[in-house]
Homo-oligomer: A and B are copies of this chain.
């Protein structure tokens, strides 16, 4: 496997787009025709419907975009069977040559963070050897627990050649409550950004970016400009584009002049551009993915 940062750069260059497709399955938004087949089977039916839908979405979108971000929360809501669906989706995305980002926003004290990092990357140590669990290329991580809590993710990313995206400035309207507090002269998110730069510094690939990225919302274009200048070699994962209100112009500042440096996520805008009754839902996903990939052309 190549260095994570370079693998991400190669995927962006090969497809010609910085689009990241978010997989956030929701029962109420699935096509009726698909729901009908799974409606009478409780949580297992929910999980099977999520797997079937997401695997189909992968077939439809990977011709134009191959950075894929499943959101763990929606799979967790379908219980243990939902986590099996998540595993199937990650496996299939990998088979299709995608870079996978597990959006789980994990974080805990070091010994526990190691378990989350092993689940995401190296796998579980068992008597029959290490067995992969999610086997994702990258994981989103919450920085609130600090230095030693983020370290296991950084170490795992380095030793297994994976990536980490640390929450810096999130896209939600109330994200500023703590992130914008002025601490010793600068907002908290800048302190987190500086830590990301430090963790990232020793992981640089030939593309000039490293393995420890930052989550910076498209809904904060001013902060995006400021953080791009402050963290020139950090990959940005930019949520909040599309359904959350961020525009293509808002995210332009996230990119280096050669078009690398950021991946821009769209979830609902690509995976649910149809009414559940619409029999032509697959075609609508293809069109939405093509349009979004074009808007994020690099």
Contact = CB atoms under 8 A, between A and B. Distances in A.
A167 interface: yes
Contacts of A173: 148
Contacts of A201: none
A82 to B, nearest CB: 8
A96 interface: no
Given A46-B126, A127-B39, A131-B42, A174 B188 contact: no
Interface string A57-90: 0000000000000010110111111011011000
Contacts of A77: 115-116, 118-119, 124, 133
B27 A177 contact: no
A142 interface: yes
Contacts of A182: 183-184
A79 B172 contact: no
A77 B117 CA distance: 9
A125 to B, nearest CB: 7
A27 B127 CA distance: 9
Contact of A43 (B81, B109, B133, B175): B133
A175 B188 contact: no
A24 interface: yes
A112 B215 CA distance: 16
B178 A146 contact: yes
How many protomers of this protein does the assembly include?
Answer: 2
B192 A178 contact: yes
B167 A144 contact: yes
A73 B141 CA distance: 13
A126 to B, nearest CB: 6
Interface in A128-162: 128, 131, 133, 142-149, 151
A184 B180 CA distance: 11
A108 interface: yes
A239 B108 CA distance: 12
A289 B174 CA distance: 42
A45 interface: yes
A118 B128 CA distance: 36
Contacts of A126: 27, 39, 42-43, 45-46
Contact of A119 (B73, B145, B177, B192): B73
B183 A195 contact: no
Contacts of A172: 109-110, 145-146, 148-149
A176 B24 CA distance: 33
Contact of A145 (B45, B78, B175, B181): B175
A1 interface: no
A179 interface: yes
A127 B28 CA distance: 9
A210 interface: no
7 contacts: A27-B126, A73-B108, A76-B115, A78-B133, A142-B142, A144-B179, A149-B172
